[in-house]
Amino acid sequence: MSLKLHLKPHEKIILGGAVIKCGNNPVNFFVENNSVAILRQKDIMTEAGATTPARRVYFVLQLMYIDNDSNNSKFFERFEGLEQEMITAAPSSRRYFVEIRDCITSGGLYRALKTARELIDYEEQLVEQANIRLPIKLPQVSGLTEAGSP
Amino acid sequence: MAINDISLTSGMRNNLLSLQNTTTLINRTQTRLSTGKSVNTALDNPTNFFAAQTATARATDLSNRKDGMSEAVQMVSAANAGITGITSLIESAQGVAQAALATTSVTDRASYETTFNTLMTQITELASDSGYRGTNFLNSQNQTVEFAPATGGATLQIQGFDATATGLGLSTAGTGSGSIDWADSTTGTAGIQSSATQLENALNTLRSQSSTLSANLSVVTSRQTFTDNMVSTLQTGADNLTLADTNQEGANLLMLQTRQSLGITSLSLASQAAQAVLKLF
């Protein structure tokens, strides 16, 4: 089954280890073999972007997917460490982890990533809910100076 | 320097802020919890209650897969023990061939032939005895290991090979058909040398098959660990699920986020290739 892809101008995509960038005109194309890692720009998380527990989970799964190495124990271990921490903090996130693990086990890493995306949304909801119920005034930061600046 | 004499890097300040932020949040959550408000029970959250039940049932399914995996580990171990034994038999046979080369007496070479053939028979017997519960990787048998809860969802096919003397390409010594004659006065020396070459090739075959088996073994064991933890993910905290307080969870998550960002472990475990790819975004 081929996969239809649409790229906007200057949009990047990971395609089986290559990074492809669209030129000035939008492009439609088909990927005939779906067995390689395909990730759109909007789905790619950099390490700097992995700032919350759920985002870290996504990041590790993304590495597994790009490396195309779902049997690698170093990824497993890191994933499990993050999973344990998150389940302890938020037991209700377990159902996402169960699904993610199912996907990993059956080799559907792309589906695992999609579920991890849902986990990120869920985490946002939980944190937001806690914030709405308990409004907090953030200290003003504008008056502080950065280290190294005059 | 308006605020204080210690200037913070922006990263440190962000951590400090979220730490202060979280502490306030946790304190208020604790207060609210101690007043007994908004704690869910199994009764007012049936969804979570049944999710917990399903999880326990799935843990049972996975336990069956674990049995299959440990069986596969046993099969590989049995094959591995066989390979070790066969390797040392081949090394003995190499010694016999060396000794036969060292003498020119036809009588002596004929008696070395007998010793060599005994070793060949032992190799074949050992290969036949290296099975576990009916699967013998040293007799060309294969085994499919199931990992996923659904049959056929994720499998690993472990391929066996023929480790009998014939399978390893070893001919017996003697005058029969298909045998190499060591005791012939003119072609004996060449015969012993070709036996020695066969032995070397057999050793190489064993080494490469052995490393394939151990690669398979490490896949199975890492899957085993993963499945073990999957079962505990499913089983533990089923109670927590029915008692989850989402407000407290939000606060906990913020605290965890702060703790993780203060930690120094880098997340990058990617291969060079993947790192190079991610740098472009």
Q: Is A89 on the interface with B (CB under 8 A)?
A: yes
Cross-chain CB nearest to A147 (options B7, B229, B234): B7
Q: Which residue of A has its CA nearest to B4?
A: A144
Tokens standing for residue B173: 């010594």
Q: Is the pLDDT of residue B56 over 80?
A: no
User: What is the reported pLDDT for A115?
Assistant: 95
Closest listed residue to residue B29, CA positions, set B231, B186, B249: B249
CA distance B98 to B101: 5
The answer to whether the Cβ–Cβ distance between B257 and A52 falls below 8 Å is yes
H-helix segments, A6-142: 53-67, 73-89, 94-105, 109-133
Dump pLDDT digits (tens) for B226-274. 888 877 777 665 545 544 567 778 888 888 888 888 776 667 776 777 7
For residue B27, the one-letter residue type is: N
If you write DSSP's letter for every residue of B149-167 in order, what string do you get? SSTTSSEEEE---B-STTT
Q: Going residue by residue through chain A, which has 150 residues, state the pLDDT in tens, using 9 for 90 and above.
A: 678 889 999 999 999 888 999 999 999 989 888 778 899 999 999 888 899 999 999 999 998 898 876 567 788 888 988 998 898 888 788 889 988 988 887 778 899 999 999 999 999 988 887 777 655 554 544 444 444 433
Residues 4-43 (A) with a CB less than 8 A from some CB of B: 12, 14, 17, 19, 41
Cα B89 from Cα B252, distance rounded (Å): 62
Cα of B76 to nearest chain A Cα, Å: 18
Q: Which helix (H) or strand (E) holds B83?
A: helix B46-102
Burial (CB < 10 A; 0-12, 13-18, 19+), residue B192, is: buried
* Shortest CA gap B41–chain A (Å): 13
A95 CA: distance to closest CA in chain B (Å): 8
- What is residue B240's predicted lDDT score, i.e. its pLDDT? 52
Lowest mean pLDDT among B49-53, B108-112, B178-182: B49-53
Q: Searching chain A, which residue's CA lies closest to the CA of residue B231?
A: A98
Q: List for chain B the helix, strand, coil content (%; round to 5).
A: 65, 5, 30
User: What is the structure's pLDDT at B4?
Assistant: 39
The reply to whether residue B226 touches residue A101, judged by beta carbons under 8 angstroms, is: yes
Tell me B221's DSSP state.
H
Per-residue pLDDT tens for B116-167?
Answer: 999 999 999 999 999 999 999 999 999 999 887 778 878 889 999 999 999 9
- Return the pLDDT at A150: 38
Give the model's pLDDT for residue B32.
43
Tokens found for residue B25: 């949040």
A3 touches chain B (CB under 8 A): no
Residue B246 to residue A129, Cβ atoms within 8 A? yes
Pick the more confident residue, A1 or B179: B179
Mean of the per-residue pLDDT values for chain B? 80
Chain B interface mutation, best of A51, A92, A115, A120, highest count of B Cβ atoms under 10 Å: A92
How high is the pLDDT of residue B23?
60
Q: What is the pLDDT of residue A142?
A: 47
Query: What pLDDT, on a 0 to 100 scale, did the predictor assign at position A16?
Result: 84
Which residue is closest to B248 within chain A, CA to CA?
Answer: A130
Report the pLDDT value the prediction gives residue A77, as an integer from 0 to 100.
84
**Taking the model in full, what pTM does it have?**
0.59
Q: Is the pLDDT of residue B182 over 90?
A: yes
pLDDT(B219) > 50: yes
Q: What is the pLDDT of residue B164?
A: 95
Question: Above 80 in pLDDT, residue B34?
Answer: no
Residue B66, pLDDT score: 84
Q: How far apart are CA A105 and CA B153, in angstroms?
A: 8
